[in-house]
Amino acid sequence: MTTAPAASVLFVCIHNAGRSQMAAGFLRHLAGDRIEVRSAGSVPGDRVNPSAVAAMAELGIDISAQTPKVLTTEAVQASDYVITMGCGDACPYFPGKHYLDWTLDDPAGQGVEAVRPIRDEIRGLIDGLIAEIDAKSALSQEN
């Protein structure tokens, strides 16, 4: 018997090439199938930032096969959590969704040394997000 994911999370940044890809990679790695993961960008780049790929690979997380995707209204509607990382007004708003804005430096054009602290900050935010989702899931199972 398969169980539905506890939540669906959409990470959004402008190019969907760095921050949102690292966040999605961490969430997939740490939560497995318990949480559905999406990422998108308001103006997607042509590839994932190589420094982000290298920084994640240092932790054993491979995001090299990911590709930037365009942000769609459908992706927002299908997500319980919408986490923005610098996309501003480009993110559509729907009532009933849980919106978070994570203020993170943009890794675009940065070397892996500059990306590591951004990666590590994202990891901490992901740990907190998983704890929040797990707590809400446990609460809903009790009721």
The pLDDT value recorded for residue 37 is 97
Instruction: Give the per-residue pLDDT at 143.
Output: 59
pLDDT band at 90; cut points 50, 70, 90? low
Q: For the chain, how big is the Rg over CA atoms in Å?
A: 15
Of residues 34 and 141, the one with the higher pLDDT is 34
Lowest mean pLDDT among 8-17, 92-101, 115-124: 92-101
SS3 state at 79: coil
Average pLDDT (117-126) is 98
Helix (H) or strand (E) holding 100: strand 98-101
Q: Which residue has the tokens 């609460």?
A: 139
Q: Which residues are catalytic?
A: 13, 87, 91
Q: Whole-model pTM?
A: 0.92
For residue 97, the model assigns a pLDDT of 85
Fold of the domain built from segment(s) 7-142: Rossmann fold (3.40.50)
3-state secondary structure of 118: helix
Query: Between vectors from CA 141 to CA 138 and to CA 142, what angle results, nearest 5°?
Result: 90
Question: What mean pLDDT comes out for the span 118-142?
Answer: 90
Query: Mean per-residue pLDDT for 14-24?
Result: 95
> Are 97 and 78 within 8 A, CB to CB?
no
Overall average pLDDT of the 93-117 stretch: 90
User: Which residues are within 8 A (CB) of 137 and not within 5 positions of it... i.e. 6 or more apart?
Assistant: 6, 7
Helix residue spans in the chain (DSSP H)? 19-31, 50-57, 73-77, 112-142
Q: For residue 28, count CB atoms less than 10 angstroms from its CB and return exposed for 0-12, middle for 13-18, buried for 19 or more.
A: middle
pLDDT tier at 94 (50, 70, 90 boundaries)? confident
